[in-house]
A and B are shown apart, each in its own frame.
Chain A
Amino acid sequence: MIVAGCDVGSLSAEAVIMRNGSIISSEIIRVRPRPEQSATEVMDKALSEAGLTYQDIEHCVSTGYGRERIPFANGNISEISCHGKGAQWLIPSVRTVIDVGGQDCKVIRIDESGKLVNFVMNDKCAAGTGRFLELMAKVLRVGIEDLGPQALGSEKPVPITNMCSIFAESEVLHHIYEGKDQTDIAAGINHAMAERVQSLVNRVGIKKDICITGGVAKNIGVVRDLEEMLAVSAEKLSVDPQIVGAIGASLFAKEALSNQNR
């Protein structure tokens, strides 16, 4: 039984292909101008990696911001449900999922069965989303993937006080003009990012175990700061944290297929 999940977000798109309940292929790309293009491109890649074609997929569920525009999907499910589902499948003990994506941040509480209990989401302001880190990395002239490792050497992070990403941008610029240490600025950026996420987490409350998903989970500086602020340690995922939504979607595809065949 081959099923697929496709998560088309605002900045990245992910595809996961599962055979008999295990992942056989997954891909992540930066989004193309249109969701249809992003979905097709990322799924083409995942299929070719697995040596399969679209005909081999028995059921496909799409999720994410572009989920209603995916030509090859048989159905679509909200990203909140998919992240909950994916995280719970990966780590059954998880009750709180913190998903920090490109243009949103969600805190999702789930029960033992992976069902949604409560959630909060920020999709109105770029503070506390991946876009914030992207903008800051650009100002610092470092790759976004370097922000985490670079910050680890800092002993006194530079405080970033502005909530607004645009204001923070000029704040960082001024720190650069002042000749502040790049490592300390990077650490300040990660800390600010973690603070924004923490304030969202506090609105639903935290229940252990927790895991962090989405692209920002790859930034070790943010993860470490957030763990410290919340006084918990996040469970380690065995897969790329960015594909959790697509995994959830493929699990929903599997369920849909089982129901059909019943």
Chain B
Amino acid sequence: MIIAGCDFGTLAAKVVLMRDGAIVSSEVSRIRAVPEQVAKDLLDRALSKAGLSSGDVDFSISTGWGRKRVPFANMDISELPCLAKGAQWLIPSVRTVIDVGGQNSRTLSINEAGKVVDYNSNDKCAAGTGRFLELVAEALELRLEDLASLAFQSKNPAKISSQCCVFAESEVITLVNEGQELVDIVAGAHDSIVRRLASIAGMIGIAEDVVMTGGCAKNERLVEGMENHLKVEMKPLAVDPQLVGAIGAALFAEGKLVEG
């Protein structure tokens, strides 16, 4: 039994293929075309990696911002239940999921059964999302994946006061012009996003265990910043944190098949 989950986000799309309750293949791609095409290419890549063809997939569920546009999906489910399902499958003791994606940040409270009981999200403003870090990386001509290690080198993080990403980008450039250390500016950018994330998370209670998901959870400095700010320890994930939503979708697909 082969099942597929596709999480079509605002900036990145992810596909996970599962067989008998285990992940057999996964793919992540930046979205640079119409959703239908991106989703199809992504599935083809994941299938070929696993030595499968599209006919082998028994059931697929899509989730995420572009979930209605995934041509191969048999049905779609909104992203919150998928995130909760995926996180709870990976770490059964999890009660809080802090998901920081490309253009979304949300905190979910989930119960023992993996159901969402409360959540809060940013939906109007890009502050505290992956885009913020991307903009900072662009402004400083750095690679996104190098930001965390640079930030760890700072002893005296710079203050970035603008909440708006666009203004923060200009603020970062001003700090460079004023001769501030690059590592301090990068660390300051991390602290700024941590403050914003913590305020989103703070609107609902943080119950342990806590896990961070989404592309930003790959940034260790951000995870550590959140741990210090919220005074909790984040449970490490055994898979790419960006895949959690797609895993949840695949698990729902599995459930559908089992139900018949």
> Which of the residues A34, A125, A177 comes within 8 Å of B164, measured between beta carbons?
A125
Choose the segment among B123-131, B209-217, B222-230 that binds chain A (4+ C-beta atoms closer than 8 Å).
B123-131
Give chain B residues whose Cβ lies under 8 Å from the Cβ of A126. Answer: 164-167
Q: Is the CB of A33 closer than 8 A to any CB of chain B?
A: yes
Question: Do A103 and B11 touch (CB < 8 A)?
Answer: no
Q: Could you tell me which residues of chain B, from 161 to 216, have a CB within 8 Å of some CB in chain A?
A: 162-167, 170, 173, 177-178
Give chain B residues whose Cβ lies under 8 Å from the Cβ of A48. Answer: none
Give chain B residues whose Cβ lies under 8 Å from the Cβ of A40. Answer: none
Q: Could you tell me which residues of chain B, from 100 to 115, have a CB within 8 Å of some CB in chain A?
A: 103
Chain A interface size, as a band, is 10 to 19
Number of B interface residues in the complex (CB < 8 A) = 23
Q: Is the CB of B33 closer than 8 A to any CB of chain A?
A: yes
Q: Could you tell me which residues of chain A, from 28 to 68, have a CB within 8 Å of some CB in chain B?
A: 33-34
Question: Do A166 and B124 touch (CB < 8 A)?
Answer: no
Contact mask for chain A residues 57-81; partner B; CB cutoff 8 A; 1 contact, 0 none: 0000000000000000000000000
* Nearest opposing residue in chain B for A165, CB measure: B166
How far, in whole Å, are A131 and B164 apart by their CA atoms in the complex? 12
Contact mask for chain A residues 95-114; partner B; CB cutoff 8 A; 1 contact, 0 none: 00000000100000000000
Residue from B11, B33, B165 whose CB has the most chain A CB atoms within 10 Å? B165
Question: Do A33 and B166 touch (CB < 8 A)?
Answer: no
Q: Is the CB of A1 closer than 8 A to any CB of chain B?
A: no
Question: Do B125 and A164 touch (CB < 8 A)?
Answer: yes
Q: Could you tell me which residues of chain B, from 67 to 105, have a CB within 8 Å of some CB in chain A?
A: 103
Q: Is the CB of B238 closer than 8 A to any CB of chain A?
A: no
Closest chain-B Cβ to A239's Cβ sits at a distance in Å of: 27
Contact mask for chain B residues 137-167; partner A; CB cutoff 8 A; 1 contact, 0 none: 0000000000000000000000000111111
Give chain A residues whose Cβ lies under 8 Å from the Cβ of B177. Answer: 33-34
Question: Do B34 and A166 touch (CB < 8 A)?
Answer: no
Give chain A residues whose Cβ lies under 8 Å from the Cβ of B124. Answer: 163-164
Contact mask for chain A residues 105-133; partner B; CB cutoff 8 A; 1 contact, 0 none: 00000000000000000001110000110
Give chain B residues whose Cβ lies under 8 Å from the Cβ of A163. Answer: 124-125
Residue from B32, B103, B166, B173 whose CB has the most chain A CB atoms within 10 Å? B166
> Which of the residues B33, B35, B166, B170 comes within 8 Å of A166, measured between beta carbons?
B166
Q: Is the CB of A135 closer than 8 A to any CB of chain B?
A: yes
How far, in whole Å, are A111 and B103 apart by their CA atoms in the complex? 44
Give chain B residues whose Cβ lies under 8 Å from the Cβ of A167. Answer: 103, 125-126
Q: Could you tell me which residues of chain B, from 15 to 66, have a CB within 8 Å of some CB in chain A?
A: 32-35
Question: Do A103 and B167 touch (CB < 8 A)?
Answer: yes
Q: Could you tell me which residues of chain A, from 1 to 46, have a CB within 8 Å of some CB in chain B?
A: 10, 33-34
Question: Do A124 and B165 touch (CB < 8 A)?
Answer: no
Question: Do A166 and B126 touch (CB < 8 A)?
Answer: yes
Question: Do B34 and A178 touch (CB < 8 A)?
Answer: yes
Q: Is the CB of A170 closer than 8 A to any CB of chain B?
A: yes
Closest CB pairs A-B (n = 7): A126-B166, A166-B126, A33-B177, A177-B34, A125-B164, A164-B125, A164-B126
Known: A103-B170, A125-B167. 11 other contacts (CB 8 A): A34-B178, A125-B164, A126-B165, A131-B167, A163-B124, A165-B165, A167-B103, A167-B126, A170-B10, A177-B32, A177-B35
5 residue pairs of the A-B complex, CB under 8 angstroms, read A125-B164, A135-B166, A163-B125, A167-B125, A177-B33
